[in-house]
Amino acid sequence: MADITDEAVFERASAEHTELLVQLMREFYDFEHLPWDGAAARSALGMALDDPALSEVWLIRRSGEAAGYFVLGFGFSLEFRGRFALLDELYLREPFRGGGLGRRAIRHAEEVCRARGIEALRLEVEHKNAGAQAFYRAVGFEGHERYLLTRWIPG
């Protein structure tokens, strides 16, 4: 399924898009200065593509070019009225930034959530990334005065 809006195409990704998505993920991780483990990224992407109950991966194209991607991961929280979506790794390549494509991606993510009966769309943003924080607040996201903590569970 693809949604076409002002030359922007949101295409639900599948396994055939793996190599392109891994390339985009690598660009995103480099841009955000995140540690990159190609094998782990490929494995997680495979899980995301294989199980629509866990997530949906979307390619963003403009004028036929791969402009970026985003992932919606699905979780559950009593506080957030049941099922919620986590907007994970919204990334736009540099030539596609600043022209409204990010806003359209957020709107598309909201439509996916509505179709699934999800009322809350959440995301993470780095404390030091003031530009991203301003963008997300401008499109309606609200901050919470709390920390998101992670504990890795060894196998």
Of the candidates 126, 150, 68, 134, which has an alpha carbon nearest to the alpha carbon of residue 101? 68
Of the candidates 144, 152, 12, 36, which has an alpha carbon nearest to the alpha carbon of residue 84? 144
Q: Which amino acid is at 49?
A: L
What is the mean predicted confidence (pLDDT) over 143-150?
A: 89
Confidence band for 145, pLDDT divided at 50, 70 and 90? confident
Confidence band for 3, pLDDT divided at 50, 70 and 90? low
* Position 6 pLDDT exceeds 80: no
Residue 28: in which H helix or E strand, if any?
helix 18-32
User: CA distances (Å), 107 to each of 29, 52, 71, 110, 119, in order?
Assistant: 24, 20, 14, 5, 13
* Position 1 pLDDT exceeds 60: no
Predicted confidence (pLDDT) per residue in 52-86, tens digit: 999 999 999 999 999 999 999 999 999 999 999 99
Domains along the chain with CATH numbers: 2-138 (3.40.630.30)
Confidence band for 141, pLDDT divided at 50, 70 and 90? very high
